[in-house]
Amino acid sequence: MTAVAQDREQEAIMDDTDIDPIRDYLQFREDGALGIRPLGENSLEHYETILRRMDLGLQAGILGSTTDEIRAWICRPGRSASTRSNYIAIVRGYVRWAVAERWIDYDTTVRLPNIPTPPGRPKPWPEEALADIRARAAAPWALAIDLSSYGGLRCIEISRLDREHVTSRVTRLWGKGGKYRDVPTHPYIWERVESMPAGPLMVGARTKMRMTPNSISVGVRAHLKTLGYPGFHNHMGRHRFGTRAYQTSGHDIRAVQELLGHSSIATSQRYVDVAEGALASAVAGL
């Protein structure tokens, strides 16, 4: 057992229940201290889930484990390269913070591998599939599908959207990182929203409460499966919106960036590749 692990055991004997470095680190990331970009609600939840699981899965916890033990937990068989890369990035940030705060003496993540992952390509759902889905989708999922397909909303933005945020002209979105942006309201969205009451647009049928981003994502995916589209998910609507926005804006990549709320234009560039690939396929099929 390492010295840190022994210290953890001694702390447990002392029953000092206020000691929780993961909690303190997440507070640090939420505050955005020292110039580090603050994490949003969904990212904080994801970070905590991974760090808690890892801390429980390692016999001596994250801060008491060796590099090889952390690597073995992250790189277990069956985990994709993107998952491993994400876990390494999360634990590196936590351990480096712990060193700076003197929870531990050295950074055990320095020798963790850098796992390259290709950027994900947008996968917009086909226009004919969208037309069929819109014709048969039931509430409240039909609204979520329109918001992603004709407004480019993420599930977290759909969850935060209130009736007061939508007019016939513009929709005010509260996006990632607590940033706001305005997107023109598509007629299909206004048609569904105009007569809805004040308050959250997505409300759980049983809870009567605002739906969470995860409940929207899972609910839409399950509903699409019942409509005959297994594997389809609501983010494909956002992919469709970005691709169509690039095509119809005269290939204005800056407009796509603003509409989708991307902090980096490199992310928006992926939609250019998809749109131009579709054009090439269309020509090849003549």
Return the ∠ at Cα 43 (arms to 42 and 49), rounded to 5°. 90
150 and 186 in contact (C-beta within 8 Å)?
Answer: yes
Q: Which of 223, 235, 240, 244 is catalytic?
A: 235
Is residue 225 flagged as an active site residue?
A: no
Q: Which of 71, 223, 233, 262 is catalytic?
A: 262
Is residue 240 flagged as an active site residue?
A: no
Q: Which of 8, 92, 123, 176 is catalytic?
A: 176
Is residue 233 flagged as an active site residue?
A: no
Tokens of 273: 């590749």
Q: Which of 71, 154, 223, 270 is catalytic?
A: 154
> Could you give the residue ranges of the DSSP H alpha helices within 58-197?
67-74, 81-100, 127-136, 141-151, 155-160, 187-193
Using CA atoms, how far apart are residues 34 and 25, in angstroms rounded to an integer?
A: 13
Q: Which residues contact 106 (CB under 8 A, 6 or more apart)?
A: 99
Tokens of 225: 């499966």
Q: Which of 84, 192, 223, 238 is catalytic?
A: 238
Tokens of 143: 């609204």
Is residue 186 flagged as an active site residue?
A: no
Is residue 154 flagged as an active site residue?
A: yes
Is residue 235 flagged as an active site residue?
A: yes
- Residues involved in catalysis: 154, 176, 235, 238, 262, 271
